[in-house]
């Protein structure tokens, strides 16, 4: 065979291989639309960042199929799939959180996310109340905004305490093969209660989105107003990661241990 024919044959083989790979990726991607958002994130933690960019709720809404989540977020499903495929092609630098023993995962949640809430929540209240004092008489949206911020914080603070004092110690004991002693019965009972509270926090955040045009400060906003919205957006992103780790990794693994 001549060099030219050999070269053409090699190119044709490469083209066919590329077409097969593209077809395989397309097939895999399309099946993602039928799978739950939380499951996809549990497989690859980096997908959470993609979903956040598209406004897809992967924590409280993690039980919904990706196709439904895209519709609710008002985004093009093909664009989401393309972003997921692009991320996958860049190579794996996954967080190893899904591989941690449950006791170490709980330590991570407490040290990272519970600590974050306790540090940032008082700032959100401070900023929002300062907005009321400075602008409450002139801009009607400021007063209810501050009220919903306080409602979010007042929901989260006792929630953290219940996890740290009741649920997390029980999961630690369960993971070490110890007998669970508590007034709550099966471990699924406090887990269900915490998941319900996660949904309540998600509902408050949705209300805050509506009040703030998705945390977009108006042109006339002062520095405190802008800082408050930016802090709230960061707070929500961290809370999404926080709830994802519990709803989609910690809680299912704990329930499996209890079977």
Give me the residue spans of the domains in the chain. Answer: 3-89, 97-258
| Cβ–Cβ under 8 Å, residues 142 and 136 | yes
Place of tokens 């509506």: 210
Tell me phi and psi for residue 234, to 5 degrees.
-65, -40
pLDDT digits (tens, 9 = 90+) for 62-94: 788 999 999 998 999 999 999 888 777 654 434
| Cβ–Cβ under 8 Å, residues 107 and 58 | no
Residue 120 has pLDDT above 90, yes or no: yes
Report the share of the chain in percent with pLDDT over 70.
84
d(CA 150, CA 132): 13
Residue 3 has pLDDT above 60, yes or no: no
- Both structure tokens of 224: 């405190």
Give, in order, the Cα–Cα distances in Å from 110 to each of 75, 113, 117, 197, 246.
33, 6, 10, 17, 11
Q: Taking Cα atoms as reference points, which of 167, 68, 178, 44 lies closest to residue 110?
A: 167
Q: Which of 10-19, 41-50, 183-192, 204-213 has the lowest mean pLDDT?
A: 10-19
Cβ neighbors of 58 (< 8 A, separation 6 or more) are 37, 38, 40, 41, 47, 48, 51, 52, 69, 240, 244, 248
Across residues 127-134, what is the average pLDDT? 94
Say which residue, 179 or 125, is predicted with more confidence.
125
Across residues 34-39, what is the average pLDDT? 89
Say what the pLDDT of residue 29 is. Answer: 63
Say which residue, 55 or 143, is predicted with more confidence.
143
pLDDT digits (tens, 9 = 90+) for 141-154: 899 999 999 999 99
Does the pTM of the predicted model rise above 0.75? no
How many Cβ atoms are within 10 Å of 143's Cβ, its own excluded? 14
User: Read out DSSP for 121-142?
Assistant: HHHHHHHHHHHHHHHTTT-TTH
Residue 181 has pLDDT above 70, yes or no: no
Say what the pLDDT of residue 7 is. Answer: 46
pLDDT digits (tens, 9 = 90+) for 248-257: 899 999 999 8
Cβ neighbors of 145 (< 8 A, separation 6 or more) are 128, 131, 208, 211, 212
Residue 17 has pLDDT above 70, yes or no: no
Confidence of residue 28 (pLDDT cuts 50, 70, 90): low
Residue 96 has pLDDT above 50, yes or no: yes
Say which residue, 56 or 13, is predicted with more confidence.
56
DSSP state of 179: P
Write down the mean pLDDT value for the chain: 84
Tell me phi and psi for residue 76, to 5 degrees.
-75, 120
Say what the pLDDT of residue 79 is. Answer: 92
The CATH architecture annotation of domain 3-89 reads Orthogonal Bundle (1.10)
Return the top range by mean pLDDT from 30-34, 112-116, 255-259. Answer: 112-116
């Amino acid at each position: 065979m001549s060099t030219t024919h050999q070269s053409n044959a090699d190119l044709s083989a490469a083209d066919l291989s590329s077409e097969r790979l593209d077809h395989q990726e397309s097939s895999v991607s399309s099946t993602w639309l039928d799978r739950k958002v939380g499951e996809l994130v549990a497989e690859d933690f980096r997908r959470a960042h993609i979903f956040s960019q598209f406004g897809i709720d992967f924590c409280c809404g993690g039980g919904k199929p990706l196709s439904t989540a895209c519709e609710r977020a008002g985004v093009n499903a093909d664009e989401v799939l393309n972003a997921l495929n692009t991320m996958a092609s860049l190579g794996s630098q996954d967080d190893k959180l899904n591989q941690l023993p449950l006791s170490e995962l709980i330590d991570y949640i407490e040290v990272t996310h519970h600590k974050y809430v306790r540090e940032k929540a008082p700032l959100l209240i401070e900023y929002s109340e300062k907005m009321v004092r400075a602008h409450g008489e002139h801009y009607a949206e400021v007063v209810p905004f501050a009220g919903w911020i306080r409602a979010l914080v007042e929901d989260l603070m006792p929630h953290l305490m219940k996890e740290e004092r009741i649920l997390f110690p029980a999961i630690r004991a369960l993971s070490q093969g110890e007998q669970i002693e508590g007034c709550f019965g099966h471990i699924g009972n406090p887990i269900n209660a915490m998941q319900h509270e996660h949904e309540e926090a998600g509902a408050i955040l949705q209300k805050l989105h509506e009040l703030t045009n998705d945390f977009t400060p108006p042109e006339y906003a002062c520095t405190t107003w802008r800082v408050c919205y930016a802090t709230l957006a960061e707070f929500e992103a961290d809370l999404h990661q926080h709830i994802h780790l519990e709803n989609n990794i910690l809680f299912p693994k704990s329930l499996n241990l209890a079977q």
